[in-house]
Amino acid sequence: MDTFIQQIINGLVLGSMYALVALGYTMVYGVLNLINFAHGDVLMIGAMTGLTILNILNQHFPDLPGYIKLAIAIGGAVPVCMIVNVIIERVAYRSLRNAPRLAPLITAIGVSTLLNTFAMMIWGRNPLPFPQLLPSDPISIGGALISPTQILLLALALVSMAGLVLLVEKTRMGRAMRATAENPRVAGLMGVDSNKVIIATFALGAALAAVAGVMWGANYASIQFSMGFLPGLKAFCAAVLGGIGNIYGAMLGGIVLGIIESLGAGYIGDLTGGFLGSHYQDIFAFVVLILVLTVRPSGIMGERVADRA
Amino acid sequence: MTEQVILHIAGVNKRFGGLQALTDVGIKIMKGQIYGLIGPNGAGKTTFFNVITGLYQPDTGTFELAGKPYSPSAPHEVAKAGIARTFQNIRLFGEMTALENVMVGRHVRSKQGVFGAIFRHKAAREEEADIRRRAQELLDFVGIGQFAKRTAKFLSYGDQRRLEIARALATDPQLLALDEPAAGMNATEKLALRELLIKIKEQGRTVLLIEHDVKMMMSLCDRLMVLEYGKPIAEGLPSEIQSNQAVIDAYLGGSH
Amino acid sequence: MFNFDTSRNPRKAYASMAVLIVALLAFPFFAAQFGNSWVRIADMALLYIMLALGLNIVVGFAGLLDLGYIAFYAVGAYLAGLLSSPQFATLLESVINQYPALGESLVAILGPEIQQNGIHLSVWLIVPLAAALAAFFGALLGAPTLKLRGDYLAIVTLGFGEIIRIFMNNLNEPINFTNGPQGINLIDPIKVFGVNLAGEAGSRATVFIGGYGMPSVNAYYFLFLFLCVAVVFVTSRLQHSRLGRAWVAIREDEIAAKAMGINTRNVKLLAFSMGASFGGIAGAMFGAFQGFVSPESFSLTESIAVLAMVVLGGIGHIPGVIMGGALLAALPEVLRHVVEPLQEKLFGHVLIEAEVLRQLLYGLAMVLIMLNRPAGLWPAPKHEDRPDGDSDTKNQSSGVIAA
């Protein structure tokens, strides 16, 4: 039973990060009908920027409390990621808004490759250690362990998601975003500037990814230029699982996928008689994606359907 | 002399969520007829088309083509059975030439596969030559033979419509189903289209036609059916339809 | 200048092809003056061109964005690895360790020779097997995507590609199929007509045909060139056939294609299979050429590289794809020989290494091409001139078809 609770906690931690990134995918998809393939790399940029800031802080202000440093790192990573994502939209996607859907996807792949390459050039190819910021003594919950970093991660994710919901439901910009996602043309007729909405969408998604990136680094203590690809992909699977285009779906899908992956990795050995080990953990997300798209394309919360081609 | 029933459909119901798009719609078309389907916008004409040709699945209905039941479950099966259609918003293969578009129409009546494609043995070459010849004949038939080598998306609007008809004819259909072939045409073009349809009828083909130009329909069609809000409200000869009160009311001011 | 469009001007097209073939045949003899590396680059470029041509069937003809294509390359390579190297012996050993009863009976059937040395099939068997296995996987990976829209299809195929890579990386316990991250070594080189393309032992990789000797990379060059030409031939034949038209029809408008009686499910599966089979053949060649395979060679980066080649050259247009393949496969290597020493001279050290340059090129290629010339650098010629007079309108027409 301890293992089970441990897996659930791990799953929640993993799932929160997936949820934050999935939100970015789902929001962009909602307004543009486009999968921003490069979004996972925004997570990486967030982690890298955060690391650079932390290294500077550690060098010049080593006595600052850990959570202050972390706050500054996040505070620095968020605007950087926002700028990066907005630039990507402006340069790569804007002129392709009316092109057949494959064109922006190919461009997105190109952008992702470029982001990876720039990261490789700036930060090098090798894994970089993320400094320890919070006390490492884990707290025990029902026999399972959770570290302060992980608790902070969960808290931050919760706060971010709540903030996003508030923004989307209660503010003018949020209403504009929802309107554009529903029906861009009519929203335009109502005076909504779709360009502003799209920029805001990309910026918000990037902000969430930045938080996830820095916390990813803090949680796993090591980051690398290629770290964005797999989590990004899985976050997309989570968004589809929850119902692409639906913000609550993205959050739910992220958490659920995190738990599935964690439980799966824990029990796959037993399930397959030792044939498949926990290295196969990454497969779960794709299996989930294929199942969802085959059986229930609209996802758990079912808003947008993957059209019959 | 018994006329052959080409298309016999009964009891079609189709619901989309909260909207009952079609209620108990049926149709009976005899061989060699030009049969018209008219009605106000949103009446369900294209929906009915889509049901007949397998694009939508009906909730209920029986479907018979030339006396044999057919299942409208998959569009390609419907084409194989013998119903060929055109689309309201032209759906050509834009990057292919006009000739190639029509050659695709022959796909369902030919059979060479990977082996024939790679090795081009005698049977494959003969089939390919036959496909090409038939396609050119059809292009000539509809009047755009000289554009065989032109990329389809560069054809003029009227020629694209004709190309779509040629492509549908290439499948050798028992029933040719045309969804608003005259949309966007001026009077001259419509006359040309009318003549083409008569030519098709003279070949012995059966045509089912959705159109909004009621005047053209009255002079062209042998029989008509009128749909309103997904229900048939009148069926019969053009003269009967013209004087039908329900039809006049449906069009709010009569058929001009 | 060069024109390869046989339908428009056959004489010029065939003449162009002849000139090109002669130049290609002569190339190694010139390049050999400068050492083996250029021909080696050409060998890899030829393999990539084969891959690009295979992917072109899926992406170019049928319009299905397959982002996991490299998986089929991997399948072919690992098949060569498993069936023409000592690996099978290692596999048997692991079977004996885990499931002794099964292991012993396998040894009894296969014999001590295989237990000792592994299976060493000849290339005449490996190639068709690789093609068939890859085709099977192609259909398998394509099957769940048949009803999906373009971008979802891309992501799912990407996922499949990743799944294959993960399996390749981890299928070394309990039974050692792939030897995990270390990969499979000592793969047999290609032996055809009694000639070992890696050169006889002790000849320092020189191949002797008749009395004439040439470096091993040159021998492989001619083999790969022959295979490439064969692939071009087959894909070209496929393009101009009933099947090829069906593929393009699906790409252009799937609903209309169905309405015209095309069984889109089967036709799409055929696209996946056929495209995959070329990948498998290229993979088997790669395994034999390089002598070892490891999961690193089959990452998403490689899938993206092949896609970039197709996109850069001209989606769907065979000459364009060949050009794209040649450019993106050879250019980074060429640049490495030029740019790295240049950077040494200018900056004292290498700022941008070849690997980084390669990635930069792929990324830039895809972004810039999609933004500026989405049809590629060398797209299929459009037939829009009006030599035969107008029909209804006088001006250049604008059809109703959306691009």
B94/C234 CB distance under 8 A: no
Q: C185 burial class (0-12, 13-18, 19+ CB within 10 angstroms)? A: middle
Take residue A59 and report the two structure tokens written for it: 């060098």
Please state the domain extents for chain B. 1-82+173-256, 95-172
A106/C364 CB distance under 8 A: no
Amino acid at C157: T
Mean pLDDT of C342-353: 74
Chains that touch B (3 or more CB pairs under 8 A): C
C-alpha span between C286 and C302 (Å, rounded): 14
Contacts of C9 in chain B (CB under 8 A): none
> For chain A, what percent of residues have pLDDT higher than 90?
41
Residue C210 has pLDDT above 60, yes or no: yes
Give the pLDDT of residue A175.
Answer: 86
> For chain C, what percent of residues have pLDDT higher than 70?
91
Q: Which phi and psi (to 5°) does residue A180 adopt?
A: -65, -35
Take residue C113 and report the two structure tokens written for it: 């020779």
Whether B131 and chain C come into contact, CB under 8 Å, resolves to yes
Q: What is the count of residue pairs from B and C with beta carbons less than 8 Å apart?
A: 158
C-alpha span between A54 and B210 (Å, rounded): 69
Q: What is the pLDDT of residues A116-150, one digit of tens each?
A: 999 988 998 889 998 888 888 888 877 788 888 88
Instruction: Decide: helix, strand or coil at residue B127.
Output: helix
The answer to whether C314 and C320 are in contact (CB under 8 A) is: yes
The alpha carbon of C231 is separated from its chain's Cα centroid by a whole number of angstroms, namely 10
The answer to whether C376 and C394 are in contact (CB under 8 A) is: no
Expressed in angstroms, the distance from the first to the final Cα of chain A is 46
The answer to whether A278 and A266 are in contact (CB under 8 A) is: yes
Contacts of C257 in chain B (CB under 8 A): 93, 104
C-alpha span between A297 and C255 (Å, rounded): 20
Give, in degrees to the nearest 5, the angle at Cα C400 between C395 and C403: 105
Whether the bond between C174 and the residue before it is cis, its omega within 30 degrees of 0, is yes
Closest CA to B43 of B241, B216, B247, B190: B247
Give the pLDDT of residue C7.
Answer: 61
Whether C102 and chain A come into contact, CB under 8 Å, resolves to no
Q: A281 burial class (0-12, 13-18, 19+ CB within 10 angstroms)? A: middle
The strand pairing partners of B19, in sequence order, are B16
Give the pLDDT of residue C3.
Answer: 61
Residue C393 has pLDDT above 70, yes or no: no
- A127-136, A175-184, C5-14, C131-140 — which one is most confidently predicted on average? C131-140
Nearest CA in chain A to C358: A117
Give the pLDDT of residue C397.
Answer: 34
How does the average pLDDT of chain B come out, rounded? 90
For C144, which DSSP code?
A: G
Q: Which one is predicted more confidently, A117 or C384?
A: A117
Q: Which one is predicted more confidently, A1 or C265?
A: C265
C-alpha span between C179 and C86 (Å, rounded): 11
Chains that touch A (3 or more CB pairs under 8 A): C
> Looking at chain B from residue 66 to 85, which residues have their Cβ under 8 Å from any Cβ of chain C?
74-76, 78-80, 84-85
Give, in degrees to the nearest 5, the angle at Cα A88 between A84 and A89: 120
Take residue B19 and report the two structure tokens written for it: 């909207």
Take residue C146 and report the two structure tokens written for it: 């048949």
C366/A109 CB distance under 8 A: yes
Whether B107 and chain C come into contact, CB under 8 Å, resolves to yes
The strand pairing partners of B232, in sequence order, are B227
Please state the domain extents for chain C. 37-85+120-298
Cα Rg of chain C, angstroms: 23
Please state the domain extents for chain A. 2-227
Q: What is the pLDDT of residues A259-307, one digit of tens each?
A: 999 888 877 777 776 666 667 788 888 888 888 888 888 888 875 443 3
C-alpha span between C127 and C122 (Å, rounded): 9
Of the pLDDT bands very low, low, confident and very high (cuts 50, 70, 90), residue C118 is confident
CA distances (Å), origin C96, targets A20, A274, C82: 47, 16, 17
Domain B1-82+173-256: top CATH class? alpha beta
Cα Rg of chain B, angstroms: 19
